[in-house]
Amino acid sequence: MAIWRNSGELLIGYVVYHYKTTMDNLINYIQSRVALTQKDIDLIKNHCVSEEVPAQTSLLISGKVERYIYFLDSGIVKGYQNIDGKIVVQHLVTEHDFFTSLDSFMTETPSLDFYETITASRLVKISKPDFDILQKETKFWAIFVKEVTNEHLNCKLERVKDFQILTAKERYLKFVNQYPKLALNVSVDNIASFLGMEPQSLSRIRKQIVF
């Protein structure tokens, strides 16, 4: 066990430990999908930035250009739009997943999306210039990005299908089964919006269910 001489050393040790852990988790996530050389790993570390963000922190505001792709190492993030004055939650992101306003990021045009942390979060962010360097200087990055994009597209298509064929209660039960951490840590209002129902309806459904 390390013995720290002062609070400054303790803080530095904490930051270094979590930086290393977060980067290792990102690299493990990428390696689960594509093979990496040591040069690839070094490039990832050189072109990604790790940071800790408090709860209820805005990461993107509608009308602004999305400057980063994010990897969420720990915590919960929501993505939403303001449609005719109503908040519509379209994304609930949990640990070890990527998120961004993709069209805005790729085209460098204003986004329609908001992204905000629900809980304190640790994340890695990749800027557009760093994204472009990884795309240009490695073989794995384009393959990896395509695979993750396809995974997210498949999730989106499944979500659309669920809205078409499942009842509100069935959608909630599926959500709880797939994302128990989100079910426990996200407000009724946000879950209800994500599942396409009113908070009062979700509250009634929750009262009917005994786990």
pTM for this predicted structure: 0.87
Parent domain of 86: 7-165
Please tell me the total count of domains within the chain: 1
Query: Helix (H, G, I), strand (E, B), or coil: what is residue 31?
Result: helix
CATH number at residue 63: 2.60.120.10
Query: Helix (H, G, I), strand (E, B), or coil: what is residue 32?
Result: coil
Residue at 143 is within a domain = yes
Residue at 51 is within a domain = yes
Residue at 91 is within a domain = yes
Residue at 109 is within a domain = yes
Residue at 30 is within a domain = yes
Residue at 87 is within a domain = yes
Rounded Cα distance, 87 and 12, in Å: 39
Per-residue pLDDT tens digits of the chain, which is 211 residues long: 344 455 554 444 444 445 678 999 999 999 999 999 999 999 999 999 999 999 999 999 999 999 999 999 999 999 999 999 999 999 999 999 999 999 999 999 999 999 999 999 999 999 999 999 999 999 999 999 999 999 999 999 999 999 999 999 999 999 999 999 999 999 999 999 999 999 999 999 999 886 5
For residue 201, give both structure tokens. Answer: 């309806």
Nearby residues of 96 by Cβ (< 8 Å), 6 or more positions away: 25, 29, 71, 72, 73
Rounded Cα distance, 201 and 211, in Å: 18
End-to-end CA distance of the chain: 41
